[in-house]
Every structure is written in structure tokens, then in C-alpha cells.
Amino acid sequence: MDFLKENLLEWSKKVAVEGGRHTLKYYKTSINIEYKSDDSPVTIADKETEALMRKMIMEKFPDHGILGEEHGRVNPESDIQWILDPIDGTLSFIHGVPLYTTLIGILVKGKPEIGIIYAPVLDELCDAAVGMGTRFNDVTCKVGNCENLEKATLLTTDIQDVFTHGFEKPYRKIMDKVRLNRSWGDAYGHMLVATDRADIMFDPVLNIWDAAPLLTIIEEAGGSFTDVKGRATIDGGSGYSCNKQLYPQIQTILKG
């Protein structure tokens, strides 16, 4: 399994980088924007990038399963499942903001084993595999050691989204305590936590392709990633990242 995991990790990094770099073809250009049933935007860049990533995976591992945000599922019975989000942060992408990312999570027999976050404009790659640690541009990285909320930097993608989904009261309590509150969000915010550039990233709503790499990346970096109920899962519908010292403080507020 270690050889397989190393092979999967190396290929997933290549797929993420190739996919992410393809998005640059459309970055800061005038492209048509469509809207899905949930009113979220999608572009030709999303669709083409996922198609490219799928092609690379199927050429290398034709028996593996794939679930992507834009093109659905293939080989659902396979023990190894690739979960893809070609552009996480499409709103940032279409506004020419460089904080969008390309995401890959790999599940082996239902368990998250590999996570990749690649920011193509910034050329920042965060990768992790269970038992192998987390790396940022090939250098081992860890979450920070902030011990109390009063010194913490808190991130979220969209504060209005936090309020809309019923977290206004606990989030305001956290926000009132922290040193700094910013919206460097989407998966890039979680990468900032994994690389000790922020302390907390809070997401009130996450699809499985948004969360697929996050559990592995954050845990292998020494931190905690759970949904708002405290479950370490990628399909809880929400999620937040932080270090282990801050986790019980945040969880107490959320439960209260």
C-alpha cells in the first residue's frame, strides 16, 4: 500500500498542476459565466479543466473511480475514488483574484488518504498523504501553535454566507475574540492554516469535492479538521480547520 500511495500521490500532484495551469488560459479573460441550479457560477474553464484531469487519471488508472463537481461519477464500485474540484473559488477566478485553487482528494475504501491543493496563479502546492505528512512546495509544513483565540487569525470565504446558514451568533463570538478576521477563503484559507499563515478557517457549507483534500492535509499538518458538529469527515456539509489547541475553544462556542 505504501508504494501504491506514493504512486497515487505523485500522479495526483501532476494532475492538479496540469489542471490548474490549464485554468490560466482563461484567467483574467472575458469568458461566459453560466449559473447552476444552486445559483453557483461555472465557466468553460471549470469544465475543460475537469475533463483534462479526468483524462489523465483514466489513462494512468483506468479502473479507478472519479467524482467531479462538473462531470459526475465513473466507476463508483472501485476501491479507489478520486474526487475533483477543478476550480474551487470560481467567484475569485472570474474576478481575477488569485486565491482560487484546484483540488484533489483520493479515498481508498472510503477513507481519505491523499489531499492536494494547488493555487495555479501563485504556483503554491500543498500535498499530503496519511502517514506521510503535509508539504508546501515540497517542504514539510505544520499548523501554527497559537494557543488562544485572542491571538488567532480567523478566515472565512463569505461572512454573509456564515450568517445565512445559521452561524451568526457563534461566529460573532469567535470573531469578537480573535486578533484578526479576514476573508481569504475557499480551500486557499485551509491551506493557509496548514502552512501556519492563519489559525482558523471556517466554512459553513462544503460539498464533498470542496472538502475532499482538507481532512488529510490538515490532520497530517498536525491540526484538526471537522464539521461544525465535531466529526472528522469530508461529507459533513461544513468544516473548519485549526490547530489542536484552538479546536476545543471553538467547539465549545459552536456547541453553545
Contacts of 42 (CB under 8 A, 6+ apart): 33, 34, 35, 36, 70, 90
Task: Establish how many alpha carbons lie within 13 A of residue 133's alpha carbon, considering only the half-sphere containing its beta carbon.
Answer: 10
Domain boundary among 140, 164, 187: 140
CATH number at 224 reads 3.40.190.80
Based on the domain organization, do 107 and 134 belong to the same domain? yes
Domain boundary among 118, 140, 162: 140
pTM of the model: 0.96
Question: Percent of the chain at pLDDT above 70?
Answer: 100
**Mean pLDDT for the stretch of residues 40-58:** 95
Based on the domain organization, do 131 and 14 belong to the same domain? yes
Contact 143, 242 (CB under 8 A): yes
Based on the domain organization, do 165 and 84 belong to the same domain? no
Based on the domain organization, do 7 and 132 belong to the same domain? yes
What is residue 125's predicted lDDT score, i.e. its pLDDT? 98
pLDDT tens string 1-35:
577 889 999 999 999 999 999 999 999 998 988 88
Contact 41, 94 (CB under 8 A): yes
**Mean pLDDT for the stretch of residues 73-91:** 97
Residue for cell digits 467567484? 91
Q: Which three cell numbers stand for residue 115?
A: 489531499
What is residue 118's predicted lDDT score, i.e. its pLDDT? 98
What's the one-letter identity of residue 96? G
Q: What share of the chain is helix, strand, coil (3-state, %, to 5)?
A: 35, 30, 35
What is residue 234's predicted lDDT score, i.e. its pLDDT? 98
Based on the domain organization, do 29 and 87 belong to the same domain? yes
What is residue 41's predicted lDDT score, i.e. its pLDDT? 85
Based on the domain organization, do 160 and 214 belong to the same domain? yes
CATH number at 82 reads 3.30.540.10
The Cα–Cα gap between 113 and 93 comes to 28
The Cα–Cα gap between 225 and 65 comes to 25
- The pLDDT-based confidence of 138 (bands split at 50, 70, 90) is very high
Domain boundary among 140, 174, 206: 140
**Mean pLDDT for the stretch of residues 189-201:** 98
Contacts of 195 (CB under 8 A, 6+ apart): 126, 136, 141, 221
Based on the domain organization, do 133 and 166 belong to the same domain? no
Instruction: Provide the domain limits for residue 52.
Output: 2-140
Based on the domain organization, do 25 and 133 belong to the same domain? yes
Based on the domain organization, do 119 and 172 belong to the same domain? no
Does 117 have pLDDT greater than 60?
yes
Does 36 have pLDDT greater than 80?
no
**Mean pLDDT for the stretch of residues 34-46:** 85
What is residue 214's predicted lDDT score, i.e. its pLDDT? 98
Contact 172, 156 (CB under 8 A): no
- The pLDDT-based confidence of 39 (bands split at 50, 70, 90) is confident
Contact 115, 104 (CB under 8 A): yes
Based on the domain organization, do 135 and 160 belong to the same domain? no
Question: Percent of the chain at pLDDT above 90?
Answer: 91
Based on the domain organization, do 242 and 173 belong to the same domain? yes
The Cα–Cα gap between 204 and 55 comes to 32
Contact 199, 246 (CB under 8 A): yes
Does 238 have pLDDT greater than 60?
yes
Q: Which three cell numbers stand for residue 116?
A: 492536494
Contacts of 18 (CB under 8 A, 6+ apart): 52, 53, 56
Pairing of strands 153-156, 139-140: unpaired
Does 101 have pLDDT greater than 80?
yes
Q: How many domains does the chain have?
A: 2
Pairing of strands 223-226, 239-243: antiparallel
- The pLDDT-based confidence of 256 (bands split at 50, 70, 90) is confident
Based on the domain organization, do 166 and 66 belong to the same domain? no
Q: Which three cell numbers stand for residue 47?
A: 469544465
Q: What is the mean pLDDT of the chain?
A: 96
